Structure 1
Amino acid sequence: MSLFKRRKPLFDWNDADLVMASLGGDRDAFCTIVTRYQNLLCALAYSAVGDLKHSEDIAQETFIEAWKKLDTLRDPEKLKSWLCGIVRFKASHFRRKEVTQPATDAHALDDYEHELPAQGKIEDDLISAQEQALLWQALEKMPDTYREPLILFYREQCSIEHVANQLELSEDTVKQRLSRGRKLLQQAMVNFVEDTLAKSKQGTALTLSVLIAIKDIAPAIKIATFGAGAAKAGSIFKWTAMLATLAAFAGIVSSYFGIRAALDQSRTKRERRSVILVTLLYFVFTFIYIIGMVSLEHFARVSTQQNIDNTKIYAIASQFFVALLITSYIVITVKMHSAMRRIRMQERLFYPEAFQAPADQIGSKQREYKSRICIAGAPLFHFRFGMPEDGDKPLVAWVAGGSHAYGLLFAWGGVAIAPISVGIVSVGIISIGAVGAGLLGMGTIGIGAIGFGASAIGYKAYGSFSALGWESAASGGFSIAREAALGAIPFAEQINNEQAADIASLALFYQSSIWMLSAITFFVVVPAILYAHMVRKRLGKK
């Protein structure tokens, strides 16, 4: 099976699929909904208010309100009934508001004899004001029960079966109501009603109007429920955005205290310049990654809207930017520690006066804290607070913290390896970092059996910008997987449907979101603050 299997045409999607895609911000999916139900809503609105122009306005307002409040739809499979309910409410409100009811009562037929047809939309030009008045006079006295199926039948020029499906009635009921409706019309008016209603059928104009109207309206990203036991469809978009935002905020806080600690460890101008340079390198590559991902997602959306099938190229390119960020973080981190050792050795040689304080002597106890309690031959705690020196070995303890920290339980530092690890590059069962790799990997780039981050790679991947999963992927941007993908730009066997949501375990993700919020906040921010505080205290910085 192909990793990049392209999604099927939107017109082949069912209502639930279109709703879910729309919740993710896919305006093309929503416009497919508009195309699918515009005639039905215009027919129901016209049946209620008796004016073609106003019926179109009411239908358009219905679709715009549906876009804004799509997250309130509890069962996406009942989309049609939900839309019909909105349009009937709006039509009823219109009739109450229009006390004089100009479209219904204002003009007799003689008043239109010398009037020209309206010069608005093309559809309006096809039916003169006189014809509209005559048409509505023929239909006005008919009960809604008979008027709705009659209008829909001739307006769409469709079968009884289709009318029954649209109005959710049995075919026998539709036949009876059409028969009774025809009898209520004078025979002389039947042909005229059929012809004029056929002329009023909607084309692409309403779809375009709705698309323009919703262009600048943010899509609903609240929870949509598919039924008992089903995943909460919109939650992935809401929670990945929230978690990514918190992760970014936590990263900024951690970076601030990390930079402060590094500057406190510095003793010469060269060392301080090196710290600033390395920090800038991290930010430059992060900025390149963000700009690249945002641009590729924009180009992919534009290509989809223009029916240009090259989104696969953008999806592949997005993973190039992910690989670039991973490589840059690892290379900078490894070379940084090597370079800082070399610079410290040189600065000690050329500027010995900068290292006269007791805390700056090699072997000083102020540079490290090592607990006397040992378990299985390893100290319970071991932290290093000074800048890396030539000859320093990685710290090994149950709980370790420093430039290179290996923890039997927990590790924090530049490179951290432990069952629970937090660092610029971290590896463990649960790992959090700029690059976090483990059974559960979280961070800017999360890699693991379950990966979560701005970009995620894993068996199950949940990302903000992109997700690359073996089984499933869920993302607000590119989602690439073998079996199931949820997102704005998905590639998989199952995409943006309930089956995909089940495979991606969205319900489990939703339930564990609070836990991940707490883990990111505690394990990233707290160690950074404590470490920076201890560096300043032990190395004599005020």
Structure 2
Amino acid sequence: MSIFKKRNRIIDASDAGLVMASLGGDRDAFCQIVARYQNLLCSLAYSSVGDLKHSEDIAQEAFIEAWKKLDTLNDPEKLKSWLCGILRFKASHFRRKEATQPVKGADELDELDEHASGYSQQVKVEDAAISAQEQALLWQALEKMPDTYREPLILFYREHRSVEFVASQLDLSEDTVKQRLSRGRKLLQKAMVTFVENTLAKSTQGAVFTLAVMAAINSISPPVKAAVLGAGAMKTGSLFKWASVILVLAAFSGIVSSFFGVRAGLDQSRTQRERRRVITYTALFFAITIAYVVAMFGLKHLALNDVGNTSIYATISQLVVLGLVLSHIALVIRMLRGMRKLRAEERLFNPHAFQGESDQIGAKQREYKSRFCLAGIPLLHFRFGMPEQGDKPVVGWIAGGDYAYGMLFAWGGVAIAPISVGIISVGLISVGAVGIGLFGLGTIGIGVIGFGASAIGYKAYATFSALGWNSAFSGIGFSIANEAAIAPFAFAKHINNEQAGEMVNLTIMGQSYLWILAMIAILVIVPAVWHSNKVRQRMRKK
């Protein structure tokens, strides 16, 4: 008979099978029920009463009550929910009883029999691992959390971080458990921060207070160095905020400009090969830029997780910047030369595509040159048609084209002027994918003052990486300078302090950045939109 019962227990270890065996007097089967659900009941009891010792006592009492009343369980399939119901009733009874006692925990629960109580005390003496102080701090953080979040959180960490187990025990989906764990962690962090603040206000330093602080620190992700600037450098906060704004604006301006650039290129094209080439070059520029952004974010992530080697990642970031500059220069030259060569080939092999009046070499639609000249140079000079073999650079006081040289302003693929905007721009104030000048702005800003996603200059202000001779500021990445640097990862004589803030001229930049942002938007977007519309009016194939 005992052999049969053992085989049956192995074959049918479902809740219903164990209940039926227990009703037949098989205590071993009921022990399996206890082993299966003891962690669940202890965790739920702790979640309810906030005391490890009493939670185990309550769970034991619930199992004893279940053994006594097992015959009242109408549906053995619902064993787990039935046990949880008994446990919750016992926990509620305990809380009501504790509320009427002047000293909590003075007596053992009355319903526990002597054997169970003695066994419980022996286990606690041998296995106790949490001090009274730690228990108090733990419950201080958990008690104000709703049961909906507290129960999954307790089960998760008591069961070696098994989402699947928590889901099965609480009859929830794994996605629901993950959501409740995420919310529970946030509530736990908030509770610990509040606890530490209250303790600092009300008590002097001591063992409990120190433990609370350490617990709070452990529950909060450590900030990067830039988040702990000295009080005098707190004005850098606004710059860290607008650094991200610059990145968004630069991306937005670049997308708008690229859209109108592609539209102009397609309107200038006359064959399928030309249209494909326009799209290919645009895609290459985007791919290079995306690779740069991904690389910068990747280096930042590596630096956060490998603090000892941040200098290596900072060096690599500068190599990435150099790679972006060289790739843009090479691609622009190849694009401008390649499109001229392709147009010559298409004129030779597809002459029927160039029968329109605007497609003739020398057609007035292809260029605009103002009659008014100053010092022999046209006031306005723009090219709207696709560059042809033998075309010279566009030159004017205000100029626009593939190669544009302006006495005041130039816009184009390569733009050179006091104020210049282009893929590669050179001038006193230059804006572009690579902007080189006294005041260089762009994806890569190079100048006496560099300003962009990455910047190189005497003073460099950037989102990702800044390399400055005197000072450097980076909003979310690396900054390297001789004298002063401010960034999450900064390298200089003065780093992330008040003196560094003064040398970086944060106050002046904080007052000027809105104007700088407006200038970037206007200089990048307006010429691109205007040129694209003019190309469409003059050169679009009818």
Give the TM-score normalised by the residue count of structure 2: 0.63
Change in Cα spacing, 1:277 to 1:496, as seen in structure 2 (3 Å) is same
Distance of 1:486 and 1:374 partners within structure 2: 48
| 2:229–2:496 contact (8 Å) kept in structure 1 | no
What is the CA-CA distance between 1:204 and the residue it aligns to? 3.9
CA distance in 2, matches of 1:273, 1:240: 36
Q: Which of 103, 106, 111 pairs up with 1:112?
A: 106
Query: How far apart in 2 are the matches of 1:203 and 1:337?
Result: 62
Report the equivalent of 2:312: 313
* TM-superposed deviation, 1:272: 1.1
Matches within 5 A, 1:19-418: 107-109=101-103, 112=106, 114=108, 122-124=130-132, 152=204, 155=206, 201-202=211-212, 204-211=214-221, 226=231, 232-304=235-307, 309-418=308-417
Match of 2:8 in 1: none
Residue 539 of structure 1 aligns to which amino acid in structure 2?
Answer: M
Q: State the secondary structure of the residue aligned to 1:537.
A: helix
- The structure richer in helix per residue is 2
Give the counterpart letter for 1:494 in structure 2: H
Deviations 1:39-63 (A, max 9, x none): xxxxxxxxxxxxx99xxxxxxxxxx
| CA contact 2:336–2:402 (8 Å) conserved in 1 | yes
Instruction: Determine the C-alpha separation between the residues in 1 that align with 2:396 and 2:201.
Output: 78
What do the CA deviations read for 1:24-74 (whole angstroms, capped 9, x no partner)?
Answer: xxxxxxxxxxxxxxxxxxxxxxxxxxxx99xxxxxxxxxxxxxxxxxxxxx
- Kindly provide the amino acid, as one letter, of the partner of residue 297 in structure 1: K
- The aligned amino acid for 2:219 is S
Deviations along 1:225-280, one digit per CA (max 9) or x if unpaired, are: 956xx772201111111112111101100000001101111111111111111111
* Residue 330 of structure 1, CA deviation: 0.5
Q: d(CA) in 1 for partners of 2:385 and 2:202?
A: 84
User: How many angstroms apart in 1 are the aligned matches of 2:510 and 2:277?
Assistant: 42
The residue identity in structure 1 corresponding to 2:424 is V
Q: Relative contact order (alpha carbons < 8 A, sep ≥ 6): 1 or 2 greater?
A: 1
Aligned to 1:525: 525
Q: Which residue of 1 aligns with 2:11?
A: none
Cα distance between partner residues in 2 of 1:472 and 1:238: 19
Quote the residue 2:515 is aligned against: 515
**Partner residue of 2:433?**
434
Instruction: Name the structure 1 match of 2:506.
Output: 506
Residue 123 to residue 473, structure 1, CA distance change in 2 (3 Å):
farther
Tell me, what secondary structure is at the counterpart of 2:236? coil
Counterparts of 1:444 and 1:110 in 2: how far apart (Å)?
66
Offset of 1:148 from its aligned partner? Answer: 9.0
Cα root mean square deviation, aligned: 3.5
Is 2:358–2:366's contact at 8 Å kept on the other side of the alignment? yes
CA contact (8 A) 2:226 2:488 kept: no
Call closer, same or farther: CA 1:497–1:220 in 2, change over 3 Å. Answer: closer
The offset of 1:112, in angstroms, is 2.0
Separation in 1 of the partners of 2:129 and 2:265?
Answer: 67
Q: SS at the partner of 1:310? A: helix
Distance 2:504 2:494 in 1: 10
Partner of 2:72: none
Structure 2 residue matching 1:249: 3-state secondary structure: helix
Compute the displacement of 1:386 (Å). Answer: 0.7
In structure 2, give the amino acid aligned to 1:210.
Answer: I
Deviation at 1:541, TM superposition (A): 3.9
Q: Note the C-alpha offset of 1:377.
A: 1.3
Contact 1:224–1:232 (Cα < 8 Å) also in 2: no
- Letter matched to residue 124 of structure 1: A
1:403–1:148 distance in 2 versus 1, CA, 3 Å: closer
User: Aligned pair in 2 of structure 1 residues 478, 127: CA closer, same or farther (>3 Å)?
Assistant: closer
Deviates more, 1:324-333 or 1:114-123: 114-123
2: CA distance, partners of 1:371 / 1:429: 25
What SS class does the counterpart of residue 328 from structure 1 fall into? helix
Could you tell me which residue of structure 2 aligns to residue 142 of structure 1? Answer: none
Residues 231, 507 of structure 1: 8 Å contact kept: no
CA pair 412-202 structure 1, distance change in 2 beyond 3 A: same
1:80 alignment counterpart: none
Please give the per-residue CA displacement for 1:135-175, whole angstroms capped at 9, x wherever unaligned: xxxxxxxxxxxx9999625x15xxxxxxxxxxxxxxxxxxx
Structure 2 gaps of 5+ residues are 1-49, 52-95, 110-120, 138-198
1:123–1:202: 8 Å Cα contact kept in structure 2? no
Question: Could you tell me whether the CA contact under 8 Å between 1:438 and 1:447 is conserved in 2?
Answer: yes
Give deviations 1:317-372, integer Å, cap 9, x for gaps: 11111111111110010111111111111111111111111111111111000001
Distance 1:426 1:125, change over 3 A: same
The 2-side partners of 1:391 and 1:314 are apart by 46
- Residues of 2 paired with 1:477 and 1:436: CA distance? 20
Give the deviation of 1:484 after TM superposition. Answer: 1.1
2:145 maps to none
Deviation at 1:111, TM superposition (A): 5.4
Cross-structure match for 1:483: 483
AA aligned opposite 2:496:
N
Distance 2:459 2:108 in 1: 70
Q: Secondary structure at the match of 2:499?
A: helix
C-alpha contact 1:406 1:418 (8 A) present in aligned 2: yes
Separation (CA, whole Å) in 1 of partners of 2:447 and 2:129: 56
The Cα shift of 1:124 comes to: 2.8
1:441 Cα deviation after fit: 0.7
- Name the SS of the counterpart of 2:293 in structure 1: helix
Secondary structure of 1:256's counterpart equals: helix
Which structure has the larger Rg over C-alpha atoms? 2
Q: CA deviation at 1:114?
A: 4.9
Deviation at 1:450, TM superposition (A): 0.9
Q: Contact 1:224–1:234 (CA<8 Å) still a contact in 2?
A: no
Q: How many angstroms apart in 2 are the aligned matches of 1:281 and 1:540?
A: 24
Q: Distance in 2 between matches of 1:220 and 1:312?
A: 16
CA 122–503 in structure 1, closer or farther in 2 if over 3 Å, else same: farther
SS at match of 1:210: coil
User: Residues 204 and 330 of structure 1: is their aligned pair in 2 closer, same or farther, counting only changes over 3 Å?
Assistant: same
Cross-structure match for 2:443: 444
Aligned residues: 374
Which runs of at least 4 in structure 1 moved beyond 6 Å after TM superposition?
115-121, 126-129, 147-150, 218-221
**Quick one: structure 1 residues 148 and 314, their matched pair in 2 at CA, closer, same or farther if it must change by over 3 Å?**
closer
